[in-house]
Amino acid sequence: MNRPKRIVVLGSTGSIGISTLDVIESLPGRLEVFGLSAHSKVKELLEQAKKHKAKFIVVSDAESAAKIGLSELPQGCQLLSGADAVIKLVQMAEVDMVVSAIVGAAGIEGTWAALEAGKPVGLANKETLVVAGPLVMELARKKGVAILPIDSEHSAIFQAMQSGPKESITKIVLTGSGGPFRGKKAFELEQVTVEEALKHPTWQMGPKISIDSATLMNKALEVIEARWLFDLDASQIEVILHPESMIHSFVEFVDGSVMAQASPPDMRLPIQYALTYPERVPGPTRKLDWQSLKAWHFEQPDLETFPALKIGLEVARMGGTCGAILNAANEVAVDRFLKGELAFLDIAKAARTALDHHNFSPTPSLADLFQCDRWARQEIIRWTSKKNQTAQAQ
């Protein structure tokens, strides 16, 4: 390709989207922005569109989109509106690659549409594979396009797996910092505040992912994502805590060799690797300073204190409708926690409740999965309301 690769960034005003634009800006001549999307952060989106000379923008929230006047659009930039605006954007012939960085199940539509159009996808939206992993991977195979992971752990696995054929892999080990409450016991987490849960020790992330990291639900979702992305059995996936967040994951091979990918914790590196794959080029991230390194530590996760991870391992084994139920229940529970309507320890309980009460199907269609998503959201809204009413009556 003699011209820059034209990128669409879905969710460009979020933390991953902002980092993606930083990478694109650092590699002029190789990468350029074609289109951007956001839900409701209109001011930030317009600033991004102007700075990066985007040809198209999408605002998915209709009320926010309606407030944008034509005079506010940067020169040469068009606003796409309507329910199918994201689909129109990612399927344009000029688009070379799509970065899916919308948080939550809302990101599935854009990812699916990009794959349908034969566009490679840089996947930061893990919920796409948690909810519909088998269907999404089958679509990618059918269309002959790559899904390149942007999660630091999955990027590490993807890189390490290139050391040998898939058949020679015995297991993969996802690392995690353990979040802000590593080492705590459940009784110490009963009164956790939103502010405490948002203080991640090594990564700067949005609020939803920060809470998922605090409960270890983020790691649970990553296990499920890895199960489908790399076509592994759930028994081949393990998790270990690594508070320094320097080693991003391991792959163990049949001969006993273990391959790991290490770098300072900076999301721009896995983003850059996905955008420039299979090339490796200098970029904006700092290198490891081997002179200042002292020690790296590892420990087993506490599944009793952090049951979300245990639930994730179970869902990875079960498959079917379980991923959609877990993801939707967790999204609602986290939202209620952030609003002060649910306790920190109730987030995992909400997920367990939805899983225990849903009608399991081993081979759901995409429509079935969206129905599961809707049901689980309503179930947790009802469960939270009932729980709060009971507490007030006591």
What residues make up the domain containing 61? 5-149
Name the pLDDT band for 274 (thresholds 50, 70, 90).
very high
Strand boundaries in 162-246, DSSP class E: 169-176, 237-241
Residues 47 and 72 in one domain: yes
Q: Are residues 138 and 238 in the same domain?
A: no
Q: Is the pLDDT of residue 1 over 70?
A: no
CA 216 to CA 219: how far, in whole Å? 5
**Residues 239-243: what's their mean pLDDT?**
97
DSSP 195: H
Give how many domains the chain has, as a whole number.
2
> Using one digit for the tens of pLDDT, what is the confidence trace for 329-358?
999 999 999 999 999 999 999 999 999 999
- Average pLDDT of the segment spanning 202-222: 89
pLDDT tens profile 283-305:
999 999 999 888 999 999 999 99
**Quick check: pTM over 0.75?**
yes
| Shared domain check, 114 and 33 | yes
- Looking up tokens 């999955």 gives 154
Q: 107 and 33, same structural domain? A: yes
Q: What CATH number should be reported for the domain holding residue 356?
A: 1.10.1740.10
- Answer whether residue 316 is part of any domain: yes
- Split at pLDDT 50, 70, 90, the class of 391 is confident
Beta strands in the chain (DSSP E): 5-10, 31-38, 56-59, 78-80, 97-100, 121-123, 147-149, 169-176, 237-241, 247-253, 258-262
- Residue 134 shares a structural domain with residue 191: no
For residues 47 and 181, state if they share a domain.
no
**What is the reported pLDDT for 394?**
67
* Residue 166 and residue 134 in one domain: no
pLDDT, tens only, 97-137: 999 999 887 899 999 999 999 999 999 999 999 999 999 99
Per the omega criterion (within 30 degrees of 0), is the bond before 120 cis? Answer: no
Residue pair 305/352 in contact by the 8 Å Cβ criterion: no
